[in-house]
Amino acid sequence: MNSSISQPETDVAKENALQISMPSDSTGTIKIRFNNQIMHCPQNITVSELLQRELDNSLGVAVALNYIVVPQTQWTSSVLYENDILDCFMAIAGG
Amino acid sequence: MLTANEKKRYCRQMVYFEKSFESQVRLGHSHVVVVGLGGLGSLVCQYLAAAGVGEITLYDHDKVEWSNLPRQLLYTEADVGCWKSDIAKQKLSAMNGTIKITPRRRFEGNEEDLYQLEQCHLVIDCSDNFTTRYNLNQCCMQVNKTLISGAANRASGYVIKLTMSNTSACLGCVLGDLSTFDGARCHEQGILGPITGSIASFQSNIALRTLLAQEPLEDYLINFDGEDLLSYRYQCLRDPHCTLHSTQDESFLYAT
In order, the DSSP letters of A47-95 are HHHHHHHH-S--TTEEEEETTEEE-GGGTTT-B--TT-EEEEEE-----
Query: How far, in Å, are B47, B111, B153, B198, B221 from residue B225 at the CA level?
Result: 22, 38, 10, 10, 13
DSSP secondary structure string, B103-162?
Answer: EE------HHHHHHHHH-SEEEE--SSHHHHHHHHHHHHHHT--EEEEEEEBTEEEEEEE
Which whole number is the average pLDDT over B51-66? 98
Question: pLDDT (tens digit, 9 = 90+) per residue, B61-80?
Answer: 999 999 999 999 999 999 99
Dist. CA A71–CA A68, nearest whole Å: 10
Q: Is B170 on the interface with A (CB under 8 A)?
A: no
Residue that wins the pLDDT comparison between A13 and B55: B55
Angle, CA B201 vertex, CA B198 and CA B206 arms, to 5°: 130
**Taking a C-beta distance cutoff of 8 angstroms, is the pair B127, B40 a contact?**
no
**Taking a C-beta distance cutoff of 8 angstroms, is the pair A88, A50 a contact?**
no
Distance from CA of A86 to the nearest CA of B (A): 11
Which whole number is the average pLDDT over B79-103? 98
Say which amino acid occupies B176: G
**Do the chains contact at B153 and A91, CB–CB below 8 Å?**
no
List, as ranges, residues 11-40 from A with C-beta within 8 Å of B: 36
Dist. CA B127–CA B37, nearest whole Å: 7
Confidence check: pLDDT of A15 > 60: no
Query: How far, in Å, are A48, B17, B28, B107 from residue B12 at the CA level?
Result: 49, 9, 16, 35
Confidence check: pLDDT of A60 > 50: yes
Q: Is A62 on the interface with B (CB under 8 A)?
A: yes
> pLDDT value at position B250?
59
Dist. CA B156–CA A36, nearest whole Å: 15
**Do the chains contact at B196 and A95, CB–CB below 8 Å?**
yes
Which whole number is the average pLDDT over B195-219? 96
Helix (H) or strand (E) holding A19: helix A12-21
Calculate the average pLDDT of chain B: 94
Q: What is the pTM of this model?
A: 0.89
> pLDDT value at position B8?
96
Question: pLDDT (tens digit, 9 = 90+) per residue, B113-157?
Answer: 999 999 999 999 999 999 999 999 999 999 999 999 999 999 999
Residue of B132, B234, B245 for testing the chain A interface, max A β-carbons within 10 Å: B234
ipTM over 0.90: no
Confidence check: pLDDT of A3 > 60: no
Dist. CA B59–CA B165, nearest whole Å: 24
Question: pLDDT (tens digit, 9 = 90+) per residue, A17-49?
Answer: 344 334 455 679 999 999 999 999 999 999 999
Confidence check: pLDDT of B249 > 90: no
> pLDDT value at position B191?
92
Q: Is B193 on the interface with A (CB under 8 A)?
A: no
Dist. CA B86–CA B74, nearest whole Å: 12
Dist. CA B175–CA A60, nearest whole Å: 6
**CA-based nearest residue in chain A for residue B236:** A69
**Taking a C-beta distance cutoff of 8 angstroms, is the pair B235, A67 a contact?**
yes
> pLDDT value at position B1?
85
Question: pLDDT (tens digit, 9 = 90+) per residue, B153-196?
Answer: 999 999 999 999 989 999 999 999 998 887 666 677 899 999 99
Q: Residue B95, SS3?
A: helix
> pLDDT value at position B183?
67
